[in-house]
Structure 1
Amino acid sequence: MNTSYSQPTLRHNQVLIWLCVLSFFSVLNEMVLNVSLPDIANDFNKLPASANWVNTAFMLTFSIGTALYGKLSDQLSIKKLLLFGITVNCFGSIIGFVGHSFFPILIFARFIQGTGAAAFPALVMVVVARYIPKENRGKAFGLIGSLVAMGEGVGPAIGGVIAHCFHWSYLLLIPTVTIITVPFLIKLLKKEERLRGHFDMAGIILMSAGIVFFMLFTTSYSISFLMISILTFLIFVKHIRGAQEPFIDPALGKNVLFMIGVLCGGLIFGTVAGFVSMVPYMMKDVYHLSTAAIGSGIIFPGTMSVIIFGYIGGVLVDRKGSLYVLTIGIALMSSSFLIAAFFIDATPWLMTIVFVFVFGGLSFTKTVISTIVASSLKQKEAGAGMSLLNFTSFLSEGTGIAIVGGLLSIRLLDRRMLPIDVDHSAYLYSNMLLLFVGIIAISWLVTLIVYKRLRRND
């Protein structure tokens, strides 16, 4: 009797261990190269608009792939999809490391890495739901969430130290560690039969093309790319309205509160991601800090604060309500950006404090956006709606990185706009911080007005 109980328990624990490894490294792969973007730009003599594609390329396929794997999990074996993702991720890592001296190969490798790594967040939760007993799922989700937060936190520090002591190209090899999970997952995960179902490949292609052309527009600001992107999205909208099983359910577009939560949340998440990608350039240009100092001293404390603020935000939402916590989160981010804009050349360690409160505000905001979106959905819409929120969040981060890279390159904001006496090299970054304040303030105001109006009508 003891044996029959202990064997399944041991199996569940082993599955959870390897899922944690995958979750940790998938997030680490997002953050680890961020601090090296200025070094990459210098090595290839590229502007930030091009260099930021090292992260944008990953986030692009990562976001689309997350939605894609989620759809495929209903039709194909989870085991095969997960192993495929691990293999592709490692393959992209090796290609990137071997060909890191050629910029097109580096970008191509990041596309491949994102395609493989997307399987982890999309499928790990499905595996937990299928393999972990119901009474232990809460602990499992909590453990995985903590490791994801830890991966976001230590990623910049690890990236900065390795890039400073060795070379940024070695960071590309970090995801290959996930290959150790393959033999264990083959043994532990059950064989599943293939399920029948329709897959909207045309919808995926149209949506992906629209996103790619829009990101190309943010890099080069060529109107032709923007026009192609708009045309492709219009065709995509027409397609999903008539498709039998569309990639994105058009009925969700009629849910006003859901759409406001997704769109305004996306603007905020994209703004913070753009800020994070801008900081290494700013620290190099204004303070001439090393890559290791930027990763460990500037970014690391802020990213680790997510763990604490995330818990506080969850407690406050239950006690004070969503709008209260959202307002605090926006206030933390806005005030931090404003302080950084006005005192940008005071001391580099001011940016460490700014990072802590920006990520603290982001934690509050993420908690609220998830709560608002979830509460706006009917039970039958919950799965598709939350998947779309995750997809939009990842995509917004990639878009934010691309847009900030483009703005840093065309230097449209490289002029004195604030009554501050700073070095000319700081003007651009100070004005960018003001732009960030405007975007998140407008997003907050729109969410507040719509949320209150809809609640008043209910």
Structure 2
Amino acid sequence: MGTIAEQLSGEAHLTSAEKKKIIFLSCSVLLFSVMNGTMFMIAVPDIARSFSLLPSQVSWVVTGYIIIYAIGALMYGKLADIYPLKTLLTIGLSLFATGSIVGFFAPNYLFVILARLIQASGASSIVALVFIVPSRYFPEERGRILGIVSSTMAFASGIGPVIGGFVAGALNWQFLFLISATVFITIPFFRIWMPREEKKEGKVDVLGAILIAFVAASLILSITTFNWWFILISGVFFSLFAWRTFKSDNPFIHPSLFRNVPFRTTIFSGFLAIITMFGLMFMLPLMLSEINGLTTLLIGLTLFPGAMAAAFMGKWAGILTDHRGSRQIVFLAFTLMITGFLLLSTFNGSPAWVIGIIVVISYIAFPFIQTATAEIISTVLPKNEIGVGMGIYNLFNFMAGAFGSAIIGRILDYESTVVLNPFSNAQGNAIIYSNVFLGLIFLTIMNGCYFYLAFKNNE
């Protein structure tokens, strides 16, 4: 058998050692990509103090990154249907490292924002393309590899705030950029270890790509700023995108993609599930601070076991997906989510160690839902559309994260004196948290019914 460099296709047979190298390398850069987002959330107050910024001004460190990251995931996914993964990852990692270096030496806030945008334009290639690697290179082990990928994302989400808080506190927030810059050393290994592929037939509809980018950006801005004019702007760009799609011989996203019922169902159901999960992750630190009176460090320590449990369970999520089927694992994830939400609603206000144990149940649902939905996407689409399909999947996931955090944040602004959960002893400010967790249960049940009926009717 020839070496990887001699192989002409990602579908060529790989040795066990070659597979391990690709998986290790992919998960390593994915760790930095995801961690880069969570590290800077912790550093936002320090950045504001460094440049004497208002909250609305410093929020662009996070908002700008999310917008470019979400759009980039879609763009790289589409490009992966045409260009070799090795080439796209080389470009993405180079941009990620460049943005990190610019950020470390940034003399003012404008350069910090510029650095974050460059970072996002490169980091988005990682999350987009790593989800394509299992389908292209390991089709027989797709579920197991997707489980490992989901584990890495869960671990990065949990460890990011810890590392961010430590580095920003011990050194300076600018050193967070330096951590991300280390991805540059992985580029030669990608060039050597990744299978050689030829460029495929096809071209990218640039105008369509620009229009859908504006649709996504204005939608995210509408929910993160609560400026409803952005919804109108998004509608205008979406109309132009639809016109372009039906007029072009080679549209950026072919209309037939959304006529695929399993794909459409999984995208929408996954979107609702991620809204609830990100709503949970956004709400827990606020609840532990307001109700339990914990410091930032203690909040991180309380949530850390849940993130580690999710990372550990990712492997089993992949194994179960391969053996039991994707749809059954989706329902298992819904069951875990409902159980966790119910316990959090009931024991709201309990000691932090109790909340920490309950959070483990909720958090382990994340790798199950992500692994199973990604597996469905990769099996219901033809090979030449898996890239753009995964791009749409990632775009909706990132938008769901922004939507979930913003909506839950706005709901928590209100007060409630009526406890909807009959088993809860919540009092005072804890009541609204208990009621919101109950609302997440209702949304998850409705989502499960939709998912079941949609697939049943399709069959």
Normalised-by-shorter TM-score class: 0.7 to 0.9
Letter in 2 for 1:414: E
2:276 aligns to what?
271
More displaced stretch, 179-188 vs 132-141: 132-141
What amino acid sits opposite 1:359 in the alignment?
A: Y
Segment of structure 1 superposing worse, 312-321 or 87-96: 312-321
Determine the structure 1 residue equivalent to 2:12: none
Q: 1:13 to 1:253 in 2, by over 3 A?
A: closer
Question: How well do the aligned residues superpose, as a CA RMSD in angstroms?
Answer: 4.0
Match of 1:201 in 2: 206
Is 1:284 aligned to 2:289, yes or no?
A: yes
Paired position in structure 2 for 1:217: 222
What's the CA shift for 1:375? 4.8
Separation in structure 1 between the aligned mates of residue 376 and residue 4 of structure 2, nearest angstrom? 41
- Looking at structure 2, the residues matched to 352 and 28 of structure 1 have their Cα atoms a distance apart, in angstroms, of 21
TM-score by length of 1: 0.80
* SS at structure 1 position matched to 2:291: helix
Aligned-residue offset at 1:259: 0.8
Equivalent of 1:81 in 81, 84, 88? 88
SS at match of 2:249: coil
Q: Distance in 2 between matches of 1:97 and 1:54?
A: 14
Aligned pairs for 1:166-181 within 5 A = 166-181=171-186
Letter in 1 for 2:90: L
**Map of 1:359 onto structure 2:** 363
The counterpart of 2:240, out of the listed 230, 235, 238, is 235
Match of 1:115 in 2: 121
Tell me, yes or no, if structure 1 residue 416 matches structure 2 residue 417. Answer: yes
Q: Assess if the C-alpha contact under 8 Å between 1:218 and 1:406 holds in 2.
A: no
Deviations 1:77-112 (A, max 9, x none): 65553333223222333444455974x654443332
Aligned residues: 446
Native 8 Å contact 1:52 1:405 kept in 2: no
**Aligned to 1:254, which of 249, 259, 284?**
259
Who is 1:400 aligned against?
A: 404
CA–CA separation in structure 2 for the residues paired with 1:6 and 1:388: 30
Letter of the 1:109 counterpart: A
Is the CA contact (8 Å cut-off) linking 1:213 and 1:228 kept in structure 2?
Answer: yes
Show the counterpart of 2:35: 28
Q: Does 1:452 align with 2:456?
A: yes
CA distance in 1, matches of 2:452, 2:84: 42
CA contact (8 A) 1:63 1:394 kept: yes
- Of 445-454 and 376-385, deviating more is 376-385
Following superposition, the deviation at residue 265 of structure 1 comes to 0.7
2:76 is matched with which residue? 69
Name whichever of 252-261 and 163-172 sits farther off. 163-172
- In 1, the alpha carbon distance for the partners of 2:141 and 2:453 equals 40
- Choose which of 134, 143, 160 in structure 2 pairs with 1:155: 160
- Which of 437, 442, 449 is the matching residue for 2:441? 437
Q: Letter of the aligned partner of 1:415 in structure 2? A: S
Which residue of structure 2 aligns with residue 385 of structure 1? Answer: 389
Do the aligned residues in 1 keep the contact of 2:151 with 2:314 (CA within 8 Å)? no
Contact 1:316 1:325 in 2 (8 A): yes
SS at match of 1:208: helix
Out of 163-172 and 213-222, give the one that drifted further: 163-172
TM-score by length of 2: 0.79
Q: Which moved more, 1:224-233 or 1:260-269?
A: 224-233
Distance across 2 between alignment mates of 1:310 and 1:71: 26
Q: Is the 8 A contact 1:200 1:247 kept in 2?
A: yes
The one-letter code sitting in structure 1 at the alignment partner of 2:205 is D
User: Gaps (5+ residues) in structure 1?
Assistant: none
Does the residue aligned with 2:297 lie in a helix, a strand or coil?
Answer: helix
Shift in alpha-carbon separation, 1:282–1:106, aligned structure 2, 3 A: farther
Deviation at 1:407, TM superposition (A): 4.8
Pairwise CA distance, 1:417: 3.7
Give the residue type in structure 2 aligned to 1:333: M
Contact 2:144–2:317 at 8 Å: present in 1 too?
no
Change in Cα spacing, 1:190 to 1:135, as seen in structure 2 (3 Å) is closer
* Alignment partner, residue 9 of structure 2: none
